[in-house]
Structure 1
């Protein structure tokens, strides 16, 4: 870690780092029996910001600062065991909740609330990070609300949610949280962070310029050939839609790529989970009680398969949504080029294609295409089958 310690993982958010650093100092004072200034530290925080702004990374860095063992300097040294284990995800008193499917269930939240009520075992605080608080079901939100309303003395809740849908987190929970608003990191800040990770300067600057302000996306583009190839394939679609038959070819490409992403991302994990469950339920065993254990295992396996299917669906939708974000950004670039605006292009490496499209399409037809991409994203959010939504979008993209 550099001299910034745990805050190195927070890219381009100096205001947030300043606020959270002061709060961590106040938290340390509380642990030592002191009394910080009113409002300096609170038990519930809500991190909001656009996709890629680093909500979860910022929450984890703050958790590390809370658990930091350094007492004679600003918390968050990045060197002590408290910082290391928190950032690595192995600290006994820091729990991260991220939905594997499309939502966080009430059963999962009730279990978490029970654990959060305990005193810290090895750290200074019991910290609960909810990575996608906008995905809480109504029952899960109500279970969390009770804990936030009457928090244990040494427990801190860190909620993360996209600022694009603030109403997805109930107003009763939001009203009990201190909000930390994150912005889209600047290109220069992202490039600097990638260079610090050892990525060559040219590659880092390119990835930062085309990632749309999404730090994780920039990192994947800079280091993964398949991610770069997938982006190139998506951005070839607008000018490749010349005939009606191309609609179905491109739809196959988009949907199959998303399905492949879901399979690749989850295959090993699914198999490991199934094997572990079968072993726990006595698979392959002999003797008294084996038959009863086998019958019980069938129900448990069905529940596991249901969770894994939900996780695959979410992964597929996330992959497809990223492709749609890239497409929407391209049509936006065409409008920028068409109108002669001085705004920076989202895909500067595709400026030739944007100029070609702006020469052929009218501003009205370009806007219609952009609206079709946005409508497809909304359709997927309402559980329209991916192929139907994608084919409808591509029909508009082809006809204009």
Structure 2
């Protein structure tokens, strides 16, 4: 067992990273992991960090490997943006920490997930550190391959690229069956409908609610028979996304508020209480801002999953209509796909697909979800 066991379907990337660990002359201080959603960018970056800290180059068994993979290693820090962007304050703080000498490990390592979400000022703060890195500091950036240009060129040009590919359904199914202990039939089904996204396959295999939401999204193309249907289903889709985001946020938000209250001395008496209360109010406002941003992102992520499912459906209709011998994205919906292929022309199917992709772009541009989704479903009705 090694640190690479969870890096699914990426033999070329694993070979390149393993060589850098083994040969210092192949090593550099900044790396950019790119790949489609679900390809395992952050998983590969974390495994690389573990291998760099491991005295044996990534055995997967020692304390260094276990703590890095568990996210508890003192010299490996990971930025996971919970809101819509990574703040400059957070980046400055992490860059300062990354410049220190390692305390227990061999290197200081900073992993930045979704580096395409760096704001301009946060990117400038990171750029200074990447331009003049400390001797033992390594930066591992992750960004989706469909938007690598969102990482500033000044940072990209100083990073060694590690391109990842979409894992095959067979590779994902094997992981779900052998490492997650799922029955082979469930593993094969989840892998076949995940679109090459390892995390989504695992989620669909384990979560009945996730399977229900996917089914509801894929029912939409054949359900919309009028303008009223488009508005009604748009409302349901947005409401479901909001409910999912609220469900995710409730417990965590309450725990964070309670932790902040304790940290700021809630209920204290004596000298300095008034000043502490004022500081607590400012901290509460900042926490509320972060929580609101996180909930907004969770809502958009929920809508994005439905949009990706719809895009896959229309792609399958085009594939079936053309007679191309390639795997379907949603093989379990073959009956609906064949029906749609018989009813719609290729041109109208393509227009529907373009409407779905336009909705995704609109949401990324901060268009109100209700308006973007209503426009998409009206376009699906018109064809």
SS of match in other structure, 1:372: helix
Partner of 1:388: 371
Deviation for aligned residue 1:290: 1.8
Q: Which residue of 2 aligns with 1:254?
A: 237
Q: How does 1:60-75 map to 2 (within 5 A)?
A: 60-70=46-56, 75=57
Q: CA deviation at 1:246?
A: 1.1
Task: Please point out which of 9, 12, 25 is paired with 2:9.
Answer: 12
Q: Aligned runs of 1:169-184 on 2, under 5 Å?
A: 169-184=151-166
The answer for the alignment partner of 1:46 in structure 2 is 32
Is structure 2 residue 140 aligned with structure 1 residue 158? Answer: yes
- For residues 121 and 284 of structure 1, the distance between their equivalents in structure 2, rounded to whole angstroms, comes to 37
| Distance in 2, Cα, partners of 1:222 & 1:122 | 38
Secondary structure of the 1:236 match is helix
> 1:343 Cα deviation (Å)?
1.8
Q: Determine helix, strand or coil for the equivalent of 1:184.
A: coil
2:63 aligns with 81
Report the alpha carbon displacement of residue 344 of structure 1 after superposing the two structures with TM.
Answer: 1.2
User: How far 1:286 sits from its partner (Å)?
Assistant: 2.0
Q: Secondary structure at the match of 1:164?
A: coil
Contact 1:330 1:354 in 2 (8 A): yes
Please state if 1:378 is matched with 2:365. Answer: no
Q: Is structure 2 residue 128 aligned with structure 1 residue 146?
A: yes
Structure 1 residue 292, shift from structure 2 partner: 2.3
Which residues of structure 1 form unaligned runs of 5+? 27-35
Q: How far did residue 268 of structure 1 move?
A: 1.3
User: Structure 2: how far apart are the matches of 1:299 and 1:150?
Assistant: 35
Distance in 1 (CA, whole Å) between partners of 2:158 and 2:379 is 45
Q: After TM superposition, give the deviation of residue 45 of structure 1 in Å.
A: 0.4
Give the distance between the partners of 1:256 and 1:82, measured in 2 at CA: 44
Deviations 1:88-130 (Å, cap 9, x if unpaired)? 0000000000111110111111111110110000011111000
Task: Check conservation: 1:251, 1:387, Cα contact below 8 A.
Answer: yes
1:191-248 C-alpha deviation (Å, 9 max, x unpaired): 1111122111010110110000111101101111111111011101110101222112
Q: Give 1:117's match in structure 2, choosing from 99, 104, 108.
A: 99
Moved over 3 A (4+): none
Structure 2 distance, partners of 1:392, 1:177, is: 40
What's the Cα RMSD here?
Answer: 1.0
The 3-state SS of whatever aligns with 1:199 is coil
Give TM-score scaled by structure 2 length. 0.98
SS at match of 1:383: coil
1:356 aligned residue = 339
Provide the C-alpha distance between the structure 2 equivalents of 1:352 and 1:310, rounded to a whole number of angstroms: 40
User: Which residue matches 1:213?
Assistant: 196
Following TM superposition, by how much is the alpha carbon of 1:327 offset from its aligned partner in structure 2, in angstroms? 0.2
Structure-2 separation of matches of 1:349 and 1:187 = 14
Paired residues, number:
382
Structure 2 gap ranges (5+): none
Deviations 1:316-358 (A, max 9, x none): 1111011100001101111111122212110000010000111
Give me the whole-angstrom Cα distance separating, in 2, the residues matched to 1:173 and 1:257. 38
**Alpha-carbon offset, residue 279 of structure 1:** 1.2
- 1:69–1:81 Cα contact (<8 Å) kept: no
Question: The residue matched to 2:309 in structure 1 has which SS?
Answer: helix
1:249 deviates by 1.9
Query: Structure 1: how far apart are the matches of 2:58 and 2:246?
Result: 38
Q: CA deviation at 1:23?
A: 0.9
Task: Give the corresponding residue for 1:33.
Answer: none
Q: Distance in 1 between matches of 2:256 and 2:139?
A: 28
